[in-house]
Amino acid sequence: MDKEKIYWIIKQIFLGILEGIFYSIIYVYLLPYLLNVLSSSLSSQIPLLGLPFSSDIYLYIGLFVGLDVVARIMKGTIYNPLLRASSSLIGLLIVLSYFNGGILSVGPISTSSGQVYITLDLSLILLIYVAFIIAPGIIIPFIEYFVENKR
Amino acid sequence: MKLGILAAVAGLILLGLAVYPLYGFVTGFLKNPLNITETQTNCNGTIGILFNITYNNEVEMNNATIDLKLIYSNGKSINNVLFSGNLYQNETVYKCIPAYYFENATQYEFSITGKIAGLYNFNITEVNKIG
């Protein structure tokens, strides 16, 4: 194996790790955190959690990093779009599970007059997010692969 | 890559547009929650409770219903629809419920259901125990 090839592999591993950490921050930390901010803004009785998925966070980071590193090394093969699409699918599963299908339920919140329950349907936001951010992440790697291999 | 960036940018713009009325509603809700006052009065010749409900939010709520559900000691319940329609800022709803409805009631629930700016289904229920 020549030096250039080794350098290319190290570069792809490094970029894959960065990409995996980026996706982990977006899916495992940032989106659940924003939802948490919205829930706690509706009631001060709901504590603002610093780190959702705290017990599984390393598993998710490992999955995203692993998939992105292998996808980058497998560039030019069908495994590349498959692994990139898998990464987006895991993101979709995390978002769907955390957003409870788009339904945000808060309560019971104790007030001076009684107990309050709030339900807010955020499925529109979830739909836009899935259609414009997750779906392209699943479809575009395949389009890129077939366009590149047609040349 | 370009396609992905285009889709993400379009998605972020749409998300911003979709979140804007929700943000307006939540901030308005925190500043001025729904104002409900109850006063004892005369309802068409019988003693009753007059509910005065004022919607303070800037963001309108479409297809809104305000219900008062009374739950009795025998397990039965009665639902009174206090308002049905679109709620606009400073909309005030007056509804008188005869006092005999509250006899033997163990719990009453105020429920407001509607669509924030016609986009997001919203429900808030306040459960109050009597006695």
Higher pLDDT, A58 or A50: A58
Residues of A in contact with B12 (CB under 8 A): 132
What is the extent of the structural domain holding B50? Answer: 2-129
ipTM of the complex: 0.83
Whole-number Å distance between alpha carbons of A88 and A131: 12
Give the model's pLDDT for residue A49.
Answer: 46
Strand partners, A69: none
Residue A108: cis peptide before it, omega within 30 degrees of 0: yes
Q: How far is A41 from chain B (nearest CA, A)?
A: 8
Whole-number Å distance between alpha carbons of A79 and A70: 9
Give the model's pLDDT for residue A70.
Answer: 92
Residues of A in contact with B30 (CB under 8 A): 41-42
Q: What is the mean pLDDT of residues B70-82?
A: 88
CB B112 within 8 A of CB B63: no
Higher pLDDT, B131 or A103: A103
Give the model's pLDDT for residue A48.
Answer: 46
CB B118 within 8 A of CB A109: no
Domains contained in chain B, number: 1
Give the model's pLDDT for residue A134.
Answer: 84
Q: What is the mean pLDDT of residues B49-74?
A: 89
How many helices (H) and strands (E) in chain B?
1, 7
Q: What is the mean pLDDT of residues B94-110?
A: 86
* In the predicted structure, residue B96 carries a pLDDT above the cut 80: yes
Give the model's pLDDT for residue A52.
Answer: 53
Give the model's pLDDT for residue B115.
Answer: 94
CB B117 within 8 A of CB A125: no
Q: How far is B89 from chain A (nearest CA, A)?
A: 19
- CATH code for position B62: 2.60.40
Give the model's pLDDT for residue A53.
Answer: 55
- Site from B125, B128, B130 to mutate, A interface, most A CB atoms within 10 angstroms: B125
**What are the pLDDT digits (tens) for A25-57?**
877 777 777 777 776 666 655 544 445 556 677
Give the model's pLDDT for residue A43.
Answer: 60
Give the model's pLDDT for residue A1.
Answer: 66
**Alpha helices in chain A, H assignment, sequence order:** 3-24, 31-42, 57-73, 79-98, 123-129, 135-150
* In the predicted structure, residue B5 carries a pLDDT above the cut 80: no
Tokens of B121: 């289904």
Q: What is the mean pLDDT of chain A?
A: 81
